[in-house]
Structure 1
Amino acid sequence: MALLPIWRSIETKLHAAVLVMSLLLVCSSPWIFIAKQLSPKAGFWDVFHVYGGLFTAVIGLLFAIKVCTKGQWRLFFPWLVADFSQLKADIFGMVKGRLPLSGGKGLLSVIEGGGVILLLLVAISGVLWYLADPSDALMWRSYHKVFAQGFIGFIVIHLLLALLHIRDFFG
């Protein structure tokens, strides 16, 4: 039970930590020169990307656990139990010119669930790239880049949706 207060302290900071680390990794990725493995002469950004990425994989997994506990997974992944009612209502509402509301099992939550999946795919492929035999490393690197590009797209969409969420406070 002594771990519960520690977990509560950590879980309140996970979203911000994942956001900051993801942005640092994405923004520094153009300077990464890693192919099969980290060179002994690797520069700061290469080392930061590898070890910052491993740290982000850990906090990303903790974040995924956080959003899936206490039944919250049903909000982000309602399709796992074939619950499409609010998602359909949001989509039909958008066709009629209504913006979807945040929360619940609707479009915005499903998009956030997709972001959690992409985060995990980026983390898993990055860890496997790090651990892979050099003969398989380039394959995992290519997967990692594809998933990272999808995650970057999600970050942009998530930012736009966050602006819609702010509208809920003033609307």
Structure 2
Amino acid sequence: MALKLLWQRIEAVLHPLMILMSLLLICTSPWIFIGRQLSLRASVWDVFHVYGGLFTALLALMFAYKVCAAGQWRQFFPWLTFELTPLLADVRGLVHGQLPHSGGKGLISVIEGVGVILLLLVVVSGAGWYIADPSNALAWRSYHIVFAQGFIGFIVVHCLLALLHLRDFFN
């Protein structure tokens, strides 16, 4: 019972905490000078990025669990079960000038599912970079940068979709 209550409290702050940590890591990433490994002379930004990133990775795993628990994964990944009708309806609507609505198994949910995948790819590549042998670390670093850039693009789209979601409250 206590564990369930703890999980409910974590769930309540998970999305805002993911946003905060992601933005902190993204905004401070230009000051990161880590190549193959964290050196003894690492800056505060390097140390924050590594350990803040590990904390964010833990949050990301919990977030992915939250999104996928109790069959919710079907909403964000309907293409895995070949339920493409709502997605195709939203795409046809866009062609005719209709904006998609949030919820269900349509375009917005699929985009959010892609965001979860990108987030997990950032986590895996960051963890790979952290634990990789120094001879392979730069390859993992380059994967991490590419996936992080994709995730940044998703964040922009996600913010635009959030504004679109506000429209639903006024209709």
Give the secondary structure class of the aligned counterpart of 2:38. coil
Question: Unaligned 5+ residue runs, structure 2?
Answer: none
For 1:12 and 1:122, the matched residues in 2 are separated by 23
How many residue pairs match? The answer is 171
Q: What residue is the counterpart of 1:107 in the other structure? A: 107
| Match in the other structure for 1:145 | 145
Cα offset, 1:116, TM superposition:
0.3
Query: CA-to-partner distance for each residue in 1:19-58, whole Å, 9 max, x for gaps?
Result: 1000000000000000000010111110000000000000
Aligned residue number for residue 123 of structure 2: 123
- Provide the aligned C-alpha RMSD in A: 0.6
Identify the residue that residue 4 of structure 2 maps to in structure 1: 4
TM-score by length of 2: 0.99
Give unpaired runs (5+ residues) of structure 1: none
Amino acid at match of 2:132: A
How far off its partner does 1:12 sit? 1.4
Percent of residue pairs identical = 68
Name the counterpart of 1:70: 70
Relative to the length of structure 1, the TM-score reads: 0.99
Residue 96 (structure 1) shift: 0.7
Distance 1:142 1:162 in 2: 30
Aligned with 1:6: secondary structure? helix
Task: Give the alignment of 1:47-66 within 5 angstroms.
Answer: 47-66=47-66
User: In the TM superposition, what is the alpha-carbon distance from 1:2 to its structure 2 partner?
Assistant: 2.7
Amino acid at match of 1:45: W
Q: Which residue of 1 aligns with 2:79?
A: 79
Instruction: Write the distance in 2 (CA, Å) between the matches of 1:102 and 1:22.
Output: 23
Output the CA distance in 2 between the equivalents of 1:2 and 1:159. Answer: 34
